[in-house]
Amino acid sequence: MPSVASNSYREIYAESVTDPQRFWLETAAQLEWDVPPTQALDSSQAPLHRWFPDGKLNITHNALDRHVAAGHGDRTALIYDSAMTQDSRSYSYAELRDEVAAAAGALAALGVGTGDRVLLYLPMIPQAVIAMLACARLGAVHSVVFGGFAAKEIASRIDDAAPDTVITATGGIEPTRRVEYLPKVAEALHLAQHRVGSVVVVHREGFEHSAEQLASRSEATWHDWQTLLSAAEPAAPVSVPATHPLYVLYTSGTTGKPKGVVRDQGGTAVALNWTMPAIFGIGPGQVILCASDVGWVVGHSYIVYAPLLAGATSVLYEGKPVGTPDAGAFWRMVQEHRINTLFTAPTALRAIRKADPAASKVTDYDISSLNYLFSAGERLDPETQRWIGEALDVPVIDNWWQTETGWPIAANPVGIQQLPVKVGSAALPMVGYDVAVLDPLGEPLPAGQEGNIAIKLPLPPGTLYSLWGDDARYVEAYLSAFKGYYTTGDSGYIDQDCYIYVMGRTDDVINVSGHRLSTGEIEAAVAEHPAVAECAVIGLADELKGQRPAGFLVLKAGAQISQEQLREELVAHVRATIGPVADFKEVAVVEALPKTRSGKILRKTMRQIADGKDYVVPSTIEDPGVIEALLPVLRGSQGSKD
């Protein structure tokens, strides 16, 4: 990689898109390869592209063994912090390497080998990280299923990935309840057409069901995690081709069948290793808290693989941003673990703002170690960005990416060159991402004009190279709308300084009396009101105007304002900020907005309900009761309004 000390962001970025072969081979040289690659990009099967086709390595060796061999075995690799059980423990690189080697040996004893799939259904406990790394150590392919999914969703992933082994736990812990995992796993095994051979259970105290009780419900053989590890012979890293699959992570598909995003060992290792110092400003021995879940892509990349590849310390947090016990949870961890970079979702920041509007909890802790706050997963509205930036007095860096890309498409690369922050923008494209804004015919649009955000092929290393077992679906879903481009499905624009503004999904662009408007732009204006904690603006069907915007708002704790006064003030502000063309007149105050467990607001579902269309509540919803509570409000929005 070009030296971040001597090269500016624009020089490095330009090299990555004009000479990707050279750039990525130099970047790859930072890792330890069993067979160093001599070719960066293989486009022989375009539009399907592969990276480092002649290289061989193991990502777990690079994440663990490499650092131990270099004399850094005593450095802290992982800190487990559970607000749910009050447990806390640290693993050095040597300790984590040994745990992973034992777990890999235990899986090998069950018959798991290179190329086999292992499904993980685990809460935020150290065994989740260890199991992921153990699979990669063997060259097995892990598929992590978020712990909140129901049996039917687990079964659909079992049928698609066809794992022989499932690793789970007795349960997960939420602030108000314990979630029993084993009955859901047993039911999923019954529902799935594919037969699983082995189930490995991590025992946690305080749960009603045990492996012994449920083993008879399936044909699989059930095992205890700790018993297996105690008898295991440590396994060495298996050298695999760089193009060998690392994991399959499922994302929702429009057909109802989940899409298995798959990426490889080599490209993922190279890309994530580059991102830690360059984008996040994190190097060896520094500490990052990525407040996500290992069931989501952010957790895969920035709880597990990237921090360890960089020789940094990763904090694994089992808890919530509020309520465990209060809105100071993140700041407590910053003080206790001397965290340098915090990475969380906008929805978490809005939850903190709702519970603690004055950010008074920040002053209860010493957060002087914190250098940066990064946010991704949902659009970071400008008001929340300003609020948290003033409260923490550190740069707040929005960044934009997707499950499919695995690492940021756009960000502010603070480790290379901290560029000016433009509130409302995800900043600049990262290396290898040649981003364009296209009109419906695929023609590039000028600066400042909103359209379809697309990325010119090939995508850089570490992104998806296909969907699991379905190249045709990958091409149809992502590569067919605009020839030569990957379609992100997001709408936005690029300004004259090349800053990227992501305004929402393309189906969140509404047409009001012939004028195309972004709901994200209206949301940004609404969120500026001092009483609003978070909001969702959706476009409703209108016989006269085609569509009209309607806002659904959650107020800050203690906010004292009537709905009519709030509506009048918001209508005036949107009119002044965006113009009369927005035609924003409808406001409803609600207790909560429906979200996925990763924090995305379910605008499409809200819109379908409000328009009186058939809808399906996604399995990823955090709390189905929120939809139930919203039904009268949303259905009351039907019909044309003057």
The confidence score (pLDDT) of residue 513 equals: 57
| Between residues 5 and 273, the one the model is more confident about | 273
Confidence of residue 612 (pLDDT cuts 50, 70, 90): confident
Q: Determine the residue type at 13.
A: Y
Burial 472-482 (b: 16+ CB within 10 A, else e): ebbeebbbebb
Element (H, E) at 587: strand 586-589
| Between residues 395 and 382, the one the model is more confident about | 395
629 has a pLDDT exceeding 90: no
**What rounded mean pLDDT belongs to the chain?**
91
Q: Which residues pair with 505 in a beta bridge?
A: 490
For the chain, the residue count is 642
The confidence score (pLDDT) of residue 516 equals: 56
The count of C-alpha atoms lying within 13 angstroms of the C-alpha of 383, restricted to the half-sphere facing its C-beta, is 21
Task: Report yes or no: 454 and 487 within 8 Å, Cβ to Cβ.
Answer: yes
Distance CA 47, CA 50 (A): 10
Distance CA 585, CA 567 (A): 7
- Span 614-638, average pLDDT: 81
- Span 54-72, average pLDDT: 98
Place of tokens 């069901």: 209
- Span 381-385, average pLDDT: 88
pLDDT digits (tens, 9 = 90+) for 26-49: 999 999 999 999 999 999 999 999
The dihedrals phi and psi of 46, each to the nearest 5 degrees, come to: -50, 140
Check the CA dihedral 259-265-268-272 and report its sign: positive
Which among 130, 139, 411 is positioned nearest to 276, based on CA atoms? 411
495 has a pLDDT exceeding 60: yes
523 has a pLDDT exceeding 90: no
Element (H, E) at 103: helix 93-109
Which among 493, 407, 386 is positioned nearest to 450, based on CA atoms? 493
Q: Which residues pair with 511 in a beta bridge?
A: 516
- Quick one: what percent of the chain has pLDDT higher than 90? 72
**Which residues contact residue 97 at a Cβ distance below 8 angstroms, ignoring those fewer than 6 apart?**
64, 65, 68, 73
* Most confident of the following: 311-325, 367-381, 602-616: 311-325
Bond into 234 cis (ω within 30): no
Q: Determine the residue type at 634.
A: L
Structure tokens that stand for 319 in this block: 């808890």
379 has a pLDDT exceeding 80: no
Range in 235-244, 495-504, 631-640 with the lowest mean pLDDT: 631-640
**Start-end of H helices in 280-381:** 297-299, 306-309, 329-337, 346-355
Confidence of residue 136 (pLDDT cuts 50, 70, 90): very high
The confidence score (pLDDT) of residue 127 equals: 98
Task: Report yes or no: 391 and 368 within 8 Å, Cβ to Cβ.
Answer: no
Structure tokens that stand for 86 in this block: 């009050």
Task: Report yes or no: 620 and 596 within 8 Å, Cβ to Cβ.
Answer: yes
The confidence score (pLDDT) of residue 338 equals: 98
| Between residues 359 and 634, the one the model is more confident about | 359
The confidence score (pLDDT) of residue 303 equals: 98
Domains and CATH numbers, the chain: 9-319+399-491 (3.40.50.12780), 513-635 (3.30.300.30)
83 has a pLDDT exceeding 90: yes
- Span 252-275, average pLDDT: 86
Q: Determine the residue type at 411.
A: A
Confidence of residue 507 (pLDDT cuts 50, 70, 90): low
Structure tokens that stand for 469 in this block: 């077992």
The confidence score (pLDDT) of residue 509 equals: 65
The confidence score (pLDDT) of residue 352 equals: 95
Confidence of residue 5 (pLDDT cuts 50, 70, 90): very low
Distance CA 640, CA 264 (A): 50
Structure tokens that stand for 529 in this block: 């009101």
The confidence score (pLDDT) of residue 16 equals: 97
- Span 533-558, average pLDDT: 85
pLDDT digits (tens, 9 = 90+) for 408-441: 999 999 999 989 999 889 999 999 999 999 998 9
Distance CA 287, CA 307 (A): 8
Structure tokens that stand for 521 in this block: 């732009």
The confidence score (pLDDT) of residue 614 equals: 83
